[in-house]
Chain A
Amino acid sequence: MSTGSLLVDQATVQRGGRQLFAPVSFELHAGQALHLQGENGSGKTSLLRALCGLSPLAQGVVRWCGEPLPAARQAFGKEVFYLGHALGLKDELSALENLQTACALAGQPLNTDAAVSALQAQGLSKRKHLPLRVLSQGQKRRVALARLQVSAARLWLLDEPWVALDQAAQSALTDMLRSHVAQGGLLLFTSHQSQDLGDAVSVLRLQA
C-alpha cells in the first residue's frame, strides 16, 4: 500500500441536463485524504459515483495511477471501495452472511473467522446471526463498515460515512479512516460535519 494516485482534471457532472458544479481538478496521492464539501444538491454524491464509474462524467478526465479511467476500469475495480447511501445489504440475510456474500461479490472472499472478528470489532458479535431487518439503521451501517474494515482496496470513496452512527462508533470510524490514510491509503469522503482526521486532509468545496 504505497503507490496509487487519483488525478481528476476539469471534471463535472450533469444531472437532468444541468451542470451540477463548476469543473473541479484535484490530485490525491497515497497517504492523503480529501473532504468533499458542498450544499445539499451540489453534486457530491454524483461526483463520487462518477469517479467510481457508476455514471459518466459530463466532461473532464480521471486518471488512476496515470491511466485514464474507462480504460483502466479492470485494475481500478480491485482498488476502489465505494460506500454510498444504499448499503447493499440484504434484509433477509444475517449480518454474517451479508458480510461474507458482499465480500465474495467484491472479489475478496472472507472466511468465517475473519468475518466474525470483523463484526466483533464493530460491536455486533451478539447480533451476527440475526436477520438484518431486525437491526437498527446504525447497526446496519456498522455491518457495512465491517466490510470497509476487511477491504484491501487502496482508494476509499465514502458518502456520508458517519451518518446514523452513535458517538462511540463515529470515533471508531474516524480512527479507522486515520489509520487507513496513515498506512498509505487514499480517502475521498463527503460529510456535513467537520471531522478530525489529522493533517492529511485537504478540503474541496463544490460550487455551482
Chain B
Amino acid sequence: MNIFFTVVWRDLRLAMRRKAEVLTSVFFFVVVATLFPLAIGPEPEMLRQIGPGVLWVGALLATMLGLSRMFESDFRDGSLEHMLLSPHSLGLMVLGKITAHWLLCGVPLVILAPVLGLQFDLSPQALSMLCLSLLLGTPVLSCIGAIGAALTLGVRGGGILISLLVLPLYVPVLVFGAGAVQALESGVGAQAHVSILLAMLLPALFFSPWACSAGLRIALE
C-alpha cells in the first residue's frame, strides 16, 4: 500500500513543478462554463435548464485535456520501464497515478462547479447535488480515461485517438451525472442517479488499474 502513496506523492510533486499543465484544464473548465451564459443571454429559465448539462460537459472535456499526459512523460524518460520492473504491483502504482490525476484534474472541478453554477442561477440544492454528482463522476472519468491513455501510449496523434476511444465510454457517466441534478430539480429525487454513479465508480476503480497495466505492458514491448 505504501507504494500507492509513493506514486501519488511523486505525481503531485511533479505537477507542482509544472503548474501550467494543471492550470490549463482548470482554466479551460472556467472559460467553457462562462462562455455559455454569455452566448445564450440572460434568461434565467433557460440557463437553469441547461446549467447542469453544460457544467458536466465542461468537466468531461477538461478531464480529457490532461489524459494524454498521464503516462506520456514517464514513457518517454523510461520511468515506466522501471515501474514495470519493480517488484511492487503495477496495478497499485497505476491506481496511484489515476488518483493523482483525479486530485489534480477532478477535485478542482468539484470545488469550482458551485461557483460557476451561480452563473446559471442554480438553486442551492441543485448546486450541492451538482457537486455530489461530480464528486462521484470525475473519478470514473479518470479511471476510464487512464485505460484510453494506456492503450494509445506511444501512438502518434494519440491525443485525438484518446478522445475517440474514451468519449463514447463517458456517455453513461454524463447522462446520470447531469441527470441527477435535473431529476432533483423536477422533484423526482436523485437517489437513483446517485446510486448508479456509485455503481459505476466501484467497478471502474477495480478494473481500470488492471486494464491499464495490461495496456502499458503491451506499449512497452
The residue on A at minimum CB distance from B89 is A74
Secondary structure at the A interface, as helix, strand, loop or mixed, is loop
Q: Encode contact with A along B73-113: 1 for CB under 8 Å, 0 otherwise.
A: 10011110111111110000100000000000000000000
Is B221 touching A55 in the complex (CB atoms < 8 A)? yes
Is B6 located at the chain interface by the 8 A CB criterion? yes
> Please, which residue of chain A has its CB at the minimum distance from the CB of B17?
A92
Residue numbers in B under 8 Å from A53 (CB-CB): 84-85
B77 near A105 with CB under 8 A, answer no
Contact of A105 with B78 at beta-carbon distance under 8 Å, contacts A93-B13, A93-B17 already known: no
CB-CB < 8 A to B73: which residues of A?
90
**Complex Cα gap A134–B93 (Å):** 28
Verify if A168 is at the interface (C-beta below 8 Å from B): no
Residues of A within 8 A of B93 (CB): 105
Interface of B is mostly: helix
In the complex, number of A-B residue pairs with CB atoms less than 8 Å apart = 74
Residue A71 CB within 8 A of the other chain: no
Given contacts A105-B7, A105-B93, A131-B17, contact A90 B77 (CB under 8 A): yes
Stretch at the interface among A18-26, A80-88, A121-129, A178-186: A80-88
Residue-wise, chain B 1-35 has the 8 Å CB interface mask toward A (1 for contact) of: 00100110010011001100000000000000000
Chain B residue with minimal CB distance to A131? B17
Q: How far is the CA of A106 from the CA of B73 in the complex (A)?
A: 18
Q: Do the beta carbons of B82 and A80 come within 8 Å of each other?
A: no
**Residues 41-86 of B at the A interface (beta carbon under 8 Å):** 73, 76-79, 81-86
Q: Does B115 contact A (CB under 8 A)?
A: no
Given A88-B77, A93-B13, A131-B17, the answer on whether A54 and B6 have CB atoms closer than 8 Å is no
Given known A92-B17, A93-B14, contact A106–B82 (CB-CB < 8 A): yes
User: Is B175's beta carbon under 8 Å from chain A?
Assistant: no
B88 contacts across to A, CB distance below 8 A: 105, 107
* A-chain residues with CB within 8 Å of residue B79 when the two chains form the complex: 88-90, 102, 105
Which residue on A lies nearest to B73, using beta carbons? A90
For residue B3, which residues in chain A have a CB less than 8 angstroms away from its CB? 104-105, 107
Task: Give the B interface residue count (CB, 8 A).
Answer: 24
Q: What is the interface residue range for chain A against chain B?
A: 20 to 34
- Decide yes or no whether B169 CB sits under 8 A from chain A: no
| Residue among A54, A80, A97, A106 making CB contact with B221, cutoff 8 Å | A54
**Cβ-defined contact, A77 with B87, below 8 A:** yes
A67 to B187 CA separation, bound complex (whole angstroms):
65
- A92 with B77, Cβ < 8 A, contacts A82-B85, A106-B82 known: no
In the bound complex, do residue A84 and residue B86 qualify as a contact, i.e. CB atoms below 8 Å apart?
no
Q: In the complex, A77 Cα to B91 Cα: how many Å? A: 15
Distance, CA A92 to CA B79, complexed state (A): 13
User: Please, which residues of chain B bring their CB within 8 A of the CB of A106?
Assistant: 82, 85-87
A-B contact pairs, 28 of them (CB 8 A): A54-B81, A54-B85, A54-B221, A80-B85, A82-B85, A84-B81, A86-B78, A87-B77, A88-B78, A88-B79, A89-B78, A89-B79, A90-B14, A90-B77, A92-B18, A93-B13, A93-B14, A93-B17, A101-B6, A101-B10, A102-B79, A104-B6, A105-B3, A105-B6, A105-B10, A105-B82, A106-B85, A107-B86
Given A84-B81, A89-B79, 4 more A-B residue pairs with CB atoms under 8 Å apart are A82-B85, A88-B77, A90-B77, A106-B86
